[in-house]
């Protein structure tokens, strides 16, 4: 079945440094979603990308969807301690409204 892989598994950065996490799917995705889970919390939706090559920005966060719709990335500029948490990408397992398959996430630590 469809698999979603994320790298790196962990990332430690100094506050102010940039951070990027990458997501790769074994199959073409109709869309991809990103979630953030703070330590001790539950996943919270960040964004959904639908179009090939799409780029969306949310303040210091930049999300990209690959041209082939099989990969995606999340880039954070000038990280802050509030960015700490685990970032998950997720894609529909099949076409249509099917359950999301989540990557294992990238855990971000920010050192002040």
Is residue 87 a contact partner of residue 108, using CB atoms and an 8 Å limit? yes
Q: Least distance from C-beta 16 to other proteins, angstroms? A: 26
Q: Degrees (nearest 5) of the Cα angle 44, 50, 55?
A: 85
Site residues, other proteins (CB under 8 A)? 30-31, 33, 35, 41-45, 48, 50, 88, 90, 92-93, 95-105, 107
Cβ closest to other proteins, residue 19 vs residue 103: 103
Nearer to other proteins, 42 or 59 (CB): 42
Rounded distance between C-alpha atoms, residue 87 and residue 98, angstroms = 21
- Upper half-sphere CA count for residue 72 (Cβ side, 13 Å): 37
Residue 71 beta carbon to other proteins: minimum distance, rounded to whole angstroms: 16
In the complex with other proteins, the residue whose CB is nearer, 80 or 98, is 98
């Amino acid at each position: 079945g469809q698999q979603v892989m994320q790298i790196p598994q962990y990332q430690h950065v100094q506050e102010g440094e940039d951070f990027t996490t990458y997501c790769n799917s074994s199959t073409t995705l109709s869309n991809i979603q990103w979630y953030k889970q703070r330590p001790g919390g539950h996943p919270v939706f960040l964004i959904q990308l639908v179009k090939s090559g799409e780029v969306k920005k949310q303040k210091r966060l930049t999300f990209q969807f690959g041209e082939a719709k099989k990969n995606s990335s999340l880039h954070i500029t000038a990280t802050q301690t509030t960015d700490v948490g685990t970032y998950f990408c997720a894609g529909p397992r099949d076409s249509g409204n099917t359950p999301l398959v989540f990557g294992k996430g990238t855990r971000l630590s920010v050192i002040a």
